Structure formats: C-alpha cells, structure tokens
Amino acid sequence: MNSFKVLFTLAFFVCLLERVKLLDNGLARTPPMGWMSWGYYMCGDNCLDQPHKCLDEELILSVVDTFYNDGYQEAGYEYIVIDDCWSERERDSDGRLVPDRNRFPHGMKFISDYVTYIKFGHYLNKTERPIVYSCSWPYYIEFKHNKTPDYSKVSAHCNLWRNYHDVYTSWPSVRDIVNHYKMAYSTLYQHHGPGGWNDPDMLIIGTESLTESQSRIQLSVFAMLSAPLLLSCDMTKITEYERSLLQNLDLIAIAQDPLGIMAQPYELTYFITLWVKKHLPMKGDKYHSFSFALVNLYRRNFTVSFTPGSYGLQSKDGYTVMDVFTGNYLRNITLEDSIIVTVPFEDVILYTLYAL
C-alpha cells in the first residue's frame, strides 16, 4: 500500500457507464478505504462565509498530509475522493470541466501530482488511469422509482454502488443504515465481493456526532459488511480514541478481508443482532476464521448467550476467541460452548475466532 488514489466522482458517471459493457477493470478487489468530501463539507463552495467548510486545494492537501503523517496510510486508508463542486459552473471553450479557479487555483492535476510528489509509489507511471466506478443508480431506482434494482446488472457495471439514503452526521442516521442493511441482507449479499461492493455511505467518525461506542458500531458493522470505509470529516478534529479505532488493524483485517463476504445478521433477541462473517486466515485449507459482532442499537444493556459453533464453524479442535477492540485473547472454545456476554447500550462486542 504505497500510493494514494485520488478520485473525482461526477454526476455523469452514469453516462460513462453506458459505454462499458461489462466491468472487469481489476479494481477495488477489497472495499475502498479513505476520505471523501461530501458528508462533512458537502458542496463546500461558500468559503467566505463558511471557511471551516471550505472545499479547496488546501483542505485536500492537508488530508493527504494527515493520511501520510498520522498512520492512516499504513493502516490502509488510500483513497481521497473529491465529490461534487470542485469545478466551475461553466465548461471551457473545448467543453471540458474546469476546476474552480479560486478554490483549486492550481488545477486538479496539481493535487494528483502532490500525492506522488511525496513519493509514495509509482502511481503516475500507470498511464492507463484506473478509475473506480461508484454508482448511485440502485438508490434512485429503489427510492425514487419504487422498483427493485437489478443487482446483477449493477454489479456488472460498477465497483461500488449506493442503495440507501445519504448518511448525515447524527447517530439516528447510522442506526437507520445499520437496520436497513440488516433488512436488505438477503438481497444484497449475493452481489457483493471483490470488485463490487454495496456502499452504505460514508463514516461519520470525526464529525463530533457520535459517542465512542456509537463510533465502534458504525466502524464494526461497516467492517463486517465489507463496506467501503470512507471518512468525511475535518481530519484535525479526529480524537485520539477515534484515530486508534480507525487504525485498529484487527478491525481493518475484517474490513479488508480478500474474500469480501458480507456478514449475515441474526436476531439473537429483539434488541441484539449478531452479525457473523467468515474470513481469512484459514487453518490449513479447511477452517476459516469467523468474526462475530453483537450489536446493541438501544439505550439499555442486554446480556445474551450464543453458541458460535451454530454458525458454520467446523474445526473439532475448537477456536480461540479474540476481543477485537482490546486485542486480548479471552478464551478457547469447543463447537458446543456458549459465550455469555453483556452488550452495553448503543455498543458492540466484536470477537474474531481463529481455528485451533
């Protein structure tokens, strides 16, 4: 992981896509991780009145610097996505989009060059300009036209696709997205994997809108889904705790697992959903590792019991249980053993089980 990729997402992506018959571009083999402007800065073009929400060259370069200097790059955050509103409203005389002259005075190539300038990798030597296709049409089909998206078609054309409402910077929005993915699991999981990802939208960690435990929920569920992990925040406002969470490599290993399987939700009780995900590493060529996320979206603690062996585990030698947030190995279990645990209010317990 030694280069950043700068993406410019554009409303006319859909037009581009129509010329592509089948998506086989070799990109996004694991879900993208990075930073994206829209959620926090939105259009960001009113820099005089709202300097702290100004989407400009200086901001993008400062995100690049933070990724590089503060450990995000090593942890796998490699995309910097500039959403809408980077261009002037008028095209140039050749009909090309022109970067906003005040906010991006050196143009967009300058920004891409800056990212190589600081010498990660040999991105510029790739003359073929790889572009990850991110689509929003499943969302419009389902929520504007009330039809069911044809996900086999979507996944043939796009690397990632949005299919639910935009996230906004509040806990109820995150809760709603988590519930939606739980409901939609049986439709979505079949069209999800290396090269094609359902996209529940951006992380709102770092926007001062989630408690620590709510942040754990958003990041854990997105990791369990194998969803893109795109921050959208002022990187200088990320707390120490949030940074350590975002750079938890055991958590990122779940999120970036090469198999890219979407975790399956089970209702343990009305209040507690257990998400189960099969992933690497394997013991020999037989026994996968599994992660279990017990998610409590409610304002009460609940104690639950579950038997990991009932969810597809097969190693007769048992499994060792690691708490992903502390990195501690808690105990070893057989296929018959149950785990009893209290899930605090608006929080998640996340275990990874490795075959012994």
Ligand X SMILES: *[C@@H]1O[C@H](CO)[C@@H](O)[C@H](O)[C@H]1NC(C)=O
Binding site for ligand X (CB under 6 A): 122, 125, 301, 320, 329, 331-332, 344, 356
Least distance (Å) between residue 122 CB and ligand X: 4
Least distance (Å) between residue 213 CB and ligand X: 9
Least distance (Å) between residue 338 CB and ligand X: 17
Torsion of CA 141, 147, 152, 155, to 10 degrees: 20
Buried b (16+ CB within 10 A) or exposed e, 118-143: eebeebeeeeeeeebbbbbbbbebbe
Please count the other Cβ atoms lying within 10 Å of the Cβ belonging to residue 145: 9
Closer CB to ligand X, residue 184 or residue 356? Answer: 356
Closer CB to ligand X, residue 170 or residue 320? Answer: 320
Closer CB to ligand X, residue 142 or residue 323? Answer: 323
Closer CB to ligand X, residue 301 or residue 305? Answer: 301
Least distance (Å) between residue 88 CB and ligand X: 33
Closer CB to ligand X, residue 13 or residue 123? Answer: 123
Closer CB to ligand X, residue 125 or residue 146? Answer: 125
Largest interatomic CA distance in the chain: 71
The one-character DSSP state at 196 is B
Element (H, E) at 191: none
Least distance (Å) between residue 225 CB and ligand X: 25
CA distance 203 to 200: 9
Residue 42, token pair as written in the block: 């939105």
- Supply the DSSP string of 210-262, one letter for each residue: S-HHHHHHHHHHHHHHT--EEE-S-GGG--HHHHHHHT-HHHHHHHT-TT-PP
Angle between helices 107-117 and 57-69 (to 10 degrees): 20
Least distance (Å) between residue 328 CB and ligand X: 9
Residue 331's alpha-carbon distances to 9, 322, 338, 339, in angstroms, are 46, 8, 12, 10
